[in-house]
Structure 1
């Protein structure tokens, strides 16, 4: 989860986004899909903050959120949150 505000957000910069923890049990061959969204785009309009647009649904005069991901140097690491007990045991390790 990341919340960025201010003029520096307009600049192209390297940013690190930490993902929320997820506890899932996966079997060999299972897949995981990563989905990113910016401010629940496109459901929520971007308010310019100057009072020029009233409240209501998004329309043609509202600003758009654009995201470009350059993933050539990206990394994803998965770390166990708990260690599962061997078959036959009931307590987590």
Structure 2
């Protein structure tokens, strides 16, 4: 990464420096996230509670989807039977 004065750089060099800075910041943030989730030992209770809440929300959504699909199949079978399309 260049530490040159941005005012003395051309437009392409400024753009390249901005991209390099962005990539560096993203690498640092992603490394922090990886370290946080890959940590060994006791897990953070807040993180476990948040994960449990996300799991419950996902299961609730999956349950609603399953009920809707079964209702559709029953309705489909009923219509096919009434119209005699079997």
What TM-score results when the alignment is normalised by the length of structure 1?
0.24
Structure that is richer in helix per residue = 2
What TM-score results when the alignment is normalised by the length of structure 2?
0.25
Which structure: larger Rg? 2
